[in-house]
Chains A and B, each alone.
Chain A
Amino acid sequence: MSPEMVNIAYLIASVLFIFGLKGLTHPRTAVRGNFLGALGMLLAVVVTLIQGNLSFTLIFAGILVGSAIGVLLATKIEMTAMPQLVAVFNGFGGAASVLVAGAELSNTFSEPGLQTAVAIVLSGLIGAVTFWGSMVAFGKLQGIKMVPDQPVRYPGEQIVKVLLLLGSLALGAVVIGDYTAVSSYWWLVLAASVLGVLLVIAIGGADMPVVVALLNSYSGLAAAATGFVLSNSVLIVAGSLVGASGLILTNIMCKAMNRSLANVLFGGFGAVQTTSSADDVYGGKVKSTSPDELAMLLDGASRVVIVPGYGMAVAQAQHAVRDLYNILEANGITVEFAIHPVAGRMPGHMNVLLAEADIPYDKLIEMDAINPTMQQVDIAIVLGANDVVNPLARTDPESPIAGMPIIDVDKARTVIVIKRSLSPGFAGIPNPLFAAENALMLFGDGKKMMQESVTALKEG
């Protein structure tokens, strides 16, 4: 194939990627969009293979091994493990960029242009941060003991990170100045790897949606940098599309917590003194209830809103929630789900779990759409969520979650909070909602409480 034909094929592949992403803007067209994306990838790879002068043995062996692992992971894994799977796939994309840039450098025998040299350094830097950051995110999400869910903090941590970044850049400058300094490239990759680990290990579990979205963006930028190394248009286009997509998601997640990206990455909760102790907030004012009483209340309701949080995922309660949804809808009660953007451990986590449980997607309502109607809700059920329904965000400017948009469940006529105990959420502050006039606590495991309520509804 002539270089022109190859580039035209790459152009078609790029267009397919754009249509693919466009398809993902609606649930009806999303399956086709994903298919178009895969088609673009197939086209780009096939064209690369047949452009000549390549020996296929290693390539096909690699594709075979990679496909086998990919198929196995993608088909066997539980839906509840989706956040960590996305993190793993993401990491391997970053690692591939590191290796391609390294291969290109070790195969360079004459002075490369400045563009190529800089791009090689950037591929190595961003790719290594992506891979190791994703691996740590995987460890946190999977609950591996070595990688604690809590933020790991130590004195001088920001200085250590700045030094690592400066060290990486200095090694990068060496590579740019002298293309034969291949070992400097691998030292750079090592420094960036340590940086990737330290960046993510300092971030707590509940901030993972931001981290996962940001690493997604990095993997795209790493691919785009590799595109600059190879002067390859399809890599640049695909990489920058993904980079943009990840940045937008990151931004949405940060806004949903009213925090800056810098605060999520380097600040975090824990430094702020809470203004009131748990005893002041809860003392004698918390009322508890039972599944039977919840069933009775639900019998008299006409509009119910369920607010799921990470606790629903932990308790694997989504199927029990579906049973409750079905029985209520059968009794003519309107049931909706209010989804906070950062509920769960990745963007859209709750939506995927509820979709798995066969809840129709048009029943999942965004926070901004449901809040104005909260006063007309008879019963709001909070299932494993805490900080995202804490009214302190509106009322206490000193609180660490001040200004964070929340779902206004406290405005519903009755609020039922299903939770194991009164323990605080990720932000580490008490929640006055639990002691509110119109709130009842249903203490227990989310799944068990849902099942018992369903049984009580059937008997009543």
Chain B
Amino acid sequence: MDFVSALTVFVLAIFVGFEIITKVPPTLHTPLMSGSNAISGISLVGAVLSAGGALAAGDTAFSILGMQLSLANILGFVAVVFATLNVVGGFLVTHRMLGMFKRKD
């Protein structure tokens, strides 16, 4: 993706975000925050690519538990832990919160 396409996607998505979120009622502001927060854990995709990438030609290899790892692999691994924590914890706690919102009947 070239820069202009990426920027186009970015700007349009911000507008979509504004349009949708302004309709969220104050009652749901906390679940909105924790749910959108879980979505921002999408950096998990990038983390997975770094953690599992093959050693490149110029890489310094570290030997850990019998695996030949690059610095990018190790950083990626920690990023996978953090991002997964964000994603799994975020969606789960949002679900738990939303389960409590009931109507009068």
Contacts and interface: CB of A to CB of B under 8 A. Distances in A.
Contacts of B23: 25
Interface string B43-72: 111111111111011110000000101111
Contacts of A349: 30
A88 to B, nearest CB: 8
Contact of A38 (B48, B84, B91): B91
B101 A37 contact: no
A302 B37 CA distance: 42
A37 B33 contact: no
Interface in B52-99: 52-54, 56-59, 67, 69-73, 75-99
A76 B23 CA distance: 31
Q: Is the interface of B mostly helix, strand, loop or mixed?
A: helix
A58 B77 contact: yes
A107 B72 contact: yes
A236 B4 CA distance: 13
Contacts of B85: 66-67, 69-70, 73, 89, 92
B1 A231 contact: yes
A96 B52 contact: no
Contacts of B52: 49, 54-56, 58-59
Nearest to B54: A53
A441 B39 CA distance: 45
Nearest to B92: A74
Contacts of A95: 79, 82
Interface residues of A, number: 114
Contacts of B20: 18, 21-22, 25, 241
Given A25-B28, A106-B75, A238-B40, A347 B47 contact: no
A74 B89 contact: yes
Contacts of A93: 37, 40-41, 43, 82-83, 86
Contacts of A224: 10
B101 A355 contact: yes
B53 A238 contact: no
Interface string A343-373: 0001111011001101011111010000000
Given A75-B96, A104-B50, A34 B91 contact: yes
A85 B93 contact: yes
A179 to B, nearest CB: 12
A351 B49 contact: no
B interface, size bucket:
35 or more
Interface in A30-58: 30-31, 33-35, 37-38, 40-41, 44-45, 48-49, 53-58
Interface stretch (A138-146, A245-253, A291-299): A245-253
A49 B48 CA distance: 7
A20 interface: yes
A109 B92 CA distance: 39
Contact of A235 (B28, B34, B43): B43
Contacts of A132: none
Interface stretch (A167-175, A215-223, A276-284, A393-401): A215-223
A26 interface: yes
A213 B36 CA distance: 11
A238 B42 contact: yes
B71 A100 contact: no
B81 A62 contact: yes
Interface string A242-260: 1111101100100000000
A270 interface: no
B101 to A, nearest CB: 5
B76 A58 contact: yes
A344 to B, nearest CB: 9
Given A34-B94, A61-B77, A366 B26 contact: yes
B38 A41 contact: yes
A351 B13 contact: no
Contacts of A361: 27, 101-103
Contact of A347 (B33, B45, B84): B33
Contacts of A431: none
Contacts of B18: 244, 248
Contact of B86 (A18, A70, A71, A226): A70
Interface of A: 14, 17-18, 20-22, 24-27, 30-31, 33-35, 37-38, 40-41, 44-45, 48-49, 53-59, 61-63, 65-67, 69-71, 73-75, 77, 79, 82, 85-86, 89-90, 92-93, 95-97, 99-100, 102-104, 106-107, 109, 113-115, 212-213, 216, 219-220, 222-224, 226-246, 248-249, 252, 339, 341, 346-349, 351-352, 355-356, 358, 360-364, 366
Instruction: Sort A-B residue pairs by CB-CB distance and give the 9 closest, nearest first.
Output: A66-B84, A244-B17, A62-B80, A348-B29, A54-B52, A70-B89, A360-B104, A70-B88, A348-B30
27 contacts: A20-B39, A21-B21, A24-B31, A26-B28, A30-B101, A33-B35, A34-B98, A44-B45, A59-B52, A66-B83, A77-B93, A96-B46, A103-B76, A106-B75, A107-B59, A241-B17, A242-B37, A244-B17, A245-B21, A248-B21, A348-B30, A348-B31, A352-B31, A355-B100, A355-B101, A355-B102, A360-B105
